[in-house]
Amino acid sequence: MQSCWHFDTHKYTITRFNCLFFGVQILVLPLPCLIITVLSALGNISETPWGSSTGVNRGRTALLGCELGCLTHLTNTGCLCAGTCDFWPVSALYFAWIIFDWDAPEQGMGSYSLIYCIYHFRDYFPIQLVKTHSLLPSHNYIIGAHPHGILCVGAFCNFITESTGFSEKFPGIRPFLATLAGNFRLPVFREYLMSGGLCPVTRRAMGYLLSQNGSGNAVAIVIGGAAESLSCQPGVTTLILKNRKGFVRLALQYGAHLVPAFSFGENDLFRQVVFEEGSWMRGIQRKFQKLMGFAPCVFYGRGLTSIHSRGFLPYPKPVTTVIGEPVTVPRIKEPSHETVDLYHAMYIRSLLKLFNDHKAKYGLSEADELRIL
């Protein structure tokens, strides 16, 4: 038993995109299965000339699988080590640090979003970022990211990495991506999220980034959240937005301009079993969502060894995130319901314009419409 702890963690290169699949790997991919699938993939790669496109694609797939597996199991091992008696001094020091550093996630601290190490991840799909309007460094922004999809691949790649050239397209703008606050209560994983420039989607965190962190901040929020992930399917463009107005109120209170962003192809990365409203399975999903903050989706993607097998890697489908025209928002400390409704409607109009202007360019037809619930 003791020998299982003898490994050199310095041999691993951990990149930030692995957090996309962290929860999935903990639940469904135990270590023996991981080893078998990775070895199988490497075996297939060795039979393919690396100069060919097939060899390169297999290499990217194996890299993605190996790295997400390494992150998951190293994190699990670290948590287990912290809980053993032999490691109690380290555990005590780390938890003392967490208490001392408790407010750091809500202040956007620990962001290293300019790490140039995930280009293979970008090219696997591929993912690209399209700019339609400039963002001025003299303002702060709330970016509404749509749709949620299963794992927000487009939002993660574009807003917490430099693989798609965010800082080059929007000079002077610092992007942040807001995620569930509960994720920042997990030891070790908390530091990992902060290293990618993520922050909790709380009023306190939003208030700090939009008022006490200077100008040029762009906080991306996936507006549809868990409720939207339950309905995502390939080719379906339905957003949960009609009654989501909290982000508009925040924008008004801090004078942050609203920017719509739509990731075409996000819903094509996985296949999901969608349960009908009123069914007992949908009821379980809703209760779990209310209790934990996220919904347990029943989905699958491609396997590690073949695109025709089933597994939990996303399908290699193009994802294009288009940043739309900002909606200029005044600063109103206590906005009325009517004012919130007005700017919410303006935001939806800007989002619809973005969608209709670009849908035919990025995989949809002119007949496809954006449904807002």
| Token code pair at residue 74 | 């190293």
**147 preceded by a cis bond (ω within 30 of 0):** yes
- Helices 53-82 & 31-46, crossing angle to 10 degrees? 160
- pTM value is 0.75
- What is the DSSP track for 144-163? EEE--TTT-HHHHHHHS-ST
pLDDT tens readout for residues 256-271: 999 999 999 999 999 9
Q: Tell me how far apart the terminal alpha carbons of the chain are, to the nearest angstrom.
A: 53
Residue of 321, 299, 324, 325 whose CA lies nearest to 312:
299
- Dihedral-angle region of residue 197 (phi above 0 means left; psi in -120 to 50 means alpha; beta otherwise): left
H or E segment at 44? helix 31-46
What are 283's two structure tokens? 């009821």
Handedness of CA 216, 221, 223, 224 (dihedral sign): positive
Q: Is the pLDDT of residue 36 over 70?
A: no
Q: Which residue has the higher pLDDT, 48 or 108?
A: 108
Please name every residue paired with 179 in a beta bridge, in sequence order, or none if there are none: 200
Report yes or no: 127 and 204 within 8 Å, Cβ to Cβ. no
Residue 211 pLDDT exceeds 60: yes
Q: State the DSSP code for 99.
A: H
- Binned at pLDDT 50, 70 and 90, residue 8 comes out as very low
More confident residue, 106 or 37: 106
User: What distance in Å separates the CA atoms of residue 304 and residue 293, rounded to the nearest whole number?
Assistant: 29
Give tens-digit pLDDT for 147-170: 999 989 999 889 988 889 999 999
Confidence (pLDDT) at 161: 84
Give the separation between CA 197 and CA 160, rounded to whole angstroms.
Answer: 6
Higher pLDDT, 33 or 178: 178
Q: Chain-wide mean pLDDT for the chain?
A: 77
Given the DSSP bridges, would you call strands 174-179 and 198-200 parallel, antiparallel or unpaired?
parallel
pLDDT surpassing 50 at residue 330: yes
d(CA 10, CA 70): 12
pLDDT at position 253 over 70: yes
**Which stretch of 95-99, 212-216, 285-289, 362-366 has the lowest confidence by average pLDDT?**
95-99
215: number of Cβ within 10 Å:
15
Dist. CA 68–CA 74, nearest whole Å: 10
> Given a cut of 90, is residue 73 above it in pLDDT?
no
Mean pLDDT of 167-180: 92
Residue 215: CA count within 13 A, CB half-sphere: 10
Does the pLDDT of residue 127 top 90, yes or no?
Answer: yes
State the Cα–Cα distance between residues 372 and 348, nearest whole angstrom.
Answer: 9
pLDDT tops 90 at residue 24: no
